[in-house]
Structures are given as structure tokens and as C-alpha cells.
Amino acid sequence: MVDTSLSEIISNPSCMDDYDPNSMPVAKARQFIKQFLSPVIATEVLPLRESLGRVLAADILSPANVPNYDNSAMDGYAFNSADISQSTELKVMGSAFAGKAFVDGIQSGECVRIMTGGMMPKGADTVIMQERVKVEGNLIRFTEAPKPKANVRYAGEDLQLGKIVLAAGHMMRAADLGLIASLGIGEVSVYRQLKVAFFSTGDELASIGKPLQEGQVYDSNRYTLYGMLNRLGVEIIDMGAIADDLELLEKTLLSAASQADVVITSGGVSVGEADYMKQLLAKHGQVMFWKVAMKPGRPLAYGKIQAGLQTNHDAHYFGLPGNPVAVMVTFYQFVREAMLVLMGQTNPAPLPTFNVVCTENIKKQTGRTEFQRGILFADIDGLWKVKPTGAQGSAILSSMSLANCFIVLDESVGNLDAGAIVQVQVLDGLV
């Protein structure tokens, strides 16, 4: 499968043993898309904070040990573990604070009052918590035998000099900003931002600010797409809502493809549409049209668009269904992970998925994967469970607003009784 080109698949679908565009399992569609993704290669150097959500273009090596000196993990007293058996009484020779070391070393029978982060004085290898000693003048006595070498953070135990701290292909998160700052590094090399252009298609669409005529709906897909793309940290190019008009659609499609790495459209890929998008995509690119065995979100198109000779550039194309819930479901099931790959991330993790008890009955048809909208909640017995949001129609966008997860029901699953174990994909923080 890997060696087959897009144009081969499109011109001769039967060249692939088990390829049926009219009944495409979810996992297979994902796998297909994966083999054609070519990540961005251009890089830029950014100040550390601006790298949040971007993908590292080069390994970051540790220029030092972190921590770079042995220090105390507790407020207490630092001493040599050899003294544990010899003496229960130690003389306090001075203090070591974080940022203010005790410069002299200590001898047998001596200790130093030390605070968390304070540098271990020479001659000391163990810290006893202050709560485990009795202080008598400038002497301390253990109230509990300490463990040798306890409560010390050793140089290099977090990061070792010269080792890879974060590898190229890693997406920067909050902890990573701190980690890189802890090395004293202020700039990092990342892949350039992915540019994503999108537009809605449909004669019935009205944009916000204009009164609705009879038979019109406000274009909501451009808003959910904006939200989802924004969370991914890509550069967004909103091309508007375009009527089902061949010339207008062609102009918009080519303009989108010449400006962006990825073009996303919603609507116009289902059966019974005026077929303009299909015509245009056949003329300007190689695009596969599928009926995916899923609900919501049956029609889906993926491929590449040539944006004209002068640019010599192919844009990835995702044709999403028009129904508002289907747009979001197909985005999370196919586009999100593909986008992370295109942004340069190595092996992006799928949405976190686990099994929980569902507290209500579920209606489900076999033969397709359903992504019902669910609410994960902590039940009175303290266990996390899930219940469906209610009506599950593909146009009921309020179900996505209520939901904090998808309830993923495989092709083989049918109706379920309350109490059944179901798989959920967590959405909180994504939508």
C-alpha cells in the first residue's frame, strides 16, 4: 500500500486488494492519509516562550548537569553518613541556603543547617529532616535513625551534560519551556508554522452580520474549524463561505492552495451535491473520495491539490462533510493527527482513549463506527462514568458543546444496555 501513488489509487482503485472507497473503515482511512503526509521542512529560531505549541526542528542537548551541584531536598541538617553509627550528636557549624552555600567543609561529628536547594557542604552526603532531630544549643541529636545519603538531589540526576533533553519532532508544552529554561537556553529551533486555509461551501450559507433569508443557515463550520485549528497552533487563512458556484469555488480553491500547506473545506463532498467540488478536485489535484463506515461523518475526501505552475506546490486537501457535528468528528478522527504530522511532530499520540461504564442505554447500528457525544462524570460511588448527551443527530451541534468525550462504538457493536462498558475518547481541552 505504501508504494502506491495517489493518482494510481484514483485512476485504478482495483489495483489495491482491499480498497473500497464506498465502505472505508475508520482505521483504514487514517492509515491511507498517513502515507501521503509530507511534513514542513523550513525552520526558524524563536525565543523560548514563543516556541510553546511548536515542534522542535533539532535535538536539544543539555549544556550542563541539572542540577549542577548536589543539594538538599529538605529543610534539615547535612552531615556525613559515616557518623550515623558513631554518634547521635552533631555540632552545627553554620548554615547553607539555596543560593548561599556554606563554604567550609565539615568533619566527622559536625553538621550544617541546610535549606531545600542549599548546596551540600564538602564532607556531607546525607540530610536529616529538621523534624527528626532535637536541637540543644548548637548540637543536634537524631530522634530517628536517618538513612545514609537520604534527602540529597545529586548533580545531573534530572539531566546529564551532553544528553538529548528533547528530541527533534517534539511538540513544546509548558513543562518543556521550564525544562529548557532550567538549562539556561533562551532560543530554540522549530519548524515553521503550518498554514491552513479553509472555506465552507453551500448556497444556503449566510455569514454572521447578514440577516437570514428563508432556507438559509448561518455558517457555523468556519467557527468550529477556526477553534480547532487555533488549538493546534497553525496559521489560519479563512477564505469565507462560498456559494455552490463552479467559478467561485475554483477561484477560492486555487487561491487557498497557493497560499497554504493544507486546504480544508466543509460541505459539497456528499452524494447528491452539485458535484462541483468533485469536478474541481479532479481537474486540479488527486483526491480520493470515500464513504467512511462511520457516523457522523460518512463522506470524506483526502488528497492533494496543485496550485498552479508558478508555485510548483501541492497542498494537502481534506474535504469534510457539511453537517456541523460531522465536521468536528472527522476533524478529530482524521485531520488533527495528520496536521500534527505535517507540523513536524514525530508519532503524535491519538486522543486519549479508555473504557468506562455507560449509565444509560445506547442505540447503535452495527456495521459502522459511531462517535456518540458523551459526558464523563464522577458518579456518587467515586468512579468516572459516561452518559450520552442526548439526541445524536449530525446537525445537533449543541451535543458537541455539552460533550467532554466521544463514546466510540466499533463496527461490531449494536444496541447497548445501561451498565455496558464503552470506549471513550477524551475531548476536554480540545474543543
Assign 209 to helix, strand or coil: coil
Interaction partner, residue 95 (Mg ion, ligand AMP, none; CB < 5-8 Å by kind): none
Interaction partner, residue 324 (Mg ion, ligand AMP, none; CB < 5-8 Å by kind): ligand AMP
Binding to ligand AMP in span 174-203, by CB under 6 A:
200, 202
Contact 352, 336 (CB under 8 A): no
Interaction partner, residue 204 (Mg ion, ligand AMP, none; CB < 5-8 Å by kind): ligand AMP
* CA–CA dist 384, 406 (Å, integer): 15
Interaction partner, residue 189 (Mg ion, ligand AMP, none; CB < 5-8 Å by kind): none
Pairing mode of beta strands 384-388, 369-378 = antiparallel
* CA–CA dist 335, 341 (Å, integer): 10
CA-nearest of 3, 27, 30 to 16 is 3
Minimum Å gap between C-beta 323 and ligand AMP is 4
Candidate list 146, 267, 296, 319; residue touching ligand AMP; CB under 6 A: 267
- Smaller CB separation from Mg ion, 243 or 383: 243
* CA–CA dist 298, 431 (Å, integer): 21
Minimum Å gap between C-beta 299 and ligand AMP is 7
Q: Which residue is nearest to ligand AMP (CB)?
A: 322
**Cell 539556561, residue?**
184
The overall longest dimension of the chain from CA atoms, in Å, is: 93
**Cell 519532532, residue?**
169
Side chain identity at residue 285, one-letter code: G
Contact 118, 72 (CB under 8 A): yes
Pairing mode of beta strands 139-142, 89-96 = antiparallel
Q: Between 213 and 242, how does the x/- string for binding to ligand AMP read (CB under 6 A)?
A: ----x-xxx---------------------
- Smaller CB separation from ligand AMP, 121 or 321: 321
- Smaller CB separation from ligand AMP, 73 or 208: 208
Instruction: Compute the half-sphere exposure of residue 117: CA atoms within 13 Å on the CB side of its CA.
Output: 4
* CA–CA dist 87, 199 (Å, integer): 78
Minimum Å gap between C-beta 177 and ligand AMP is 36
- Smaller CB separation from Mg ion, 140 or 205: 205
Q: Is 146 in the site for ligand AMP (CB under 6 A)?
A: no
CA-nearest of 230, 284, 223 to 258 is 284
Interaction partner, residue 252 (ligand AMP, Mg ion, none; CB < 5-8 Å by kind): none
Which residues neighbour 310 within 8 Å (Cβ) at sequence distance 6 or greater?
Answer: none
The CA dihedral of 26, 28, 31, 35, to the nearest 10 degrees, is -130
Q: Is 266 in the site for ligand AMP (CB under 6 A)?
A: yes
- Smaller CB separation from Mg ion, 56 or 327: 327
Interaction partner, residue 270 (Mg ion, ligand AMP, none; CB < 5-8 Å by kind): ligand AMP
Taken in order 29, 31, 33, 36, the sign of the CA dihedral is negative
CA-nearest of 139, 119, 33, 18 to 68 is 119
Candidate list 112, 171, 205, 254; residue touching ligand AMP; CB under 6 A: 205
Binding to ligand AMP in span 309-368, by CB under 6 A:
321-324
Q: Between 270 and 309, how does the x/- string for binding to ligand AMP read (CB under 6 A)?
A: x--x------------------------------------
The residue ranges that bind Mg ion (CB under 5 A) are 202, 267-268, 322
Minimum Å gap between C-beta 270 and ligand AMP is 4
Minimum Å gap between C-beta 49 and ligand AMP is 35
- Residue 339, class by beta-carbon neighbours within 10 Å (0-12 exposed, 13-18 middle, 19+ buried)? buried
Minimum Å gap between C-beta 265 and ligand AMP is 10
Minimum Å gap between C-beta 266 and Mg ion is 9
Q: Is 71 in the site for ligand AMP (CB under 6 A)?
A: no
Instruction: For 123, list phi and psi in degrees, rounded to 5.
Output: 95, -10
Q: Which residues bind ligand AMP (CB under 6 A)?
A: 200, 202, 204-205, 217, 219-221, 266-268, 270, 273, 321-324
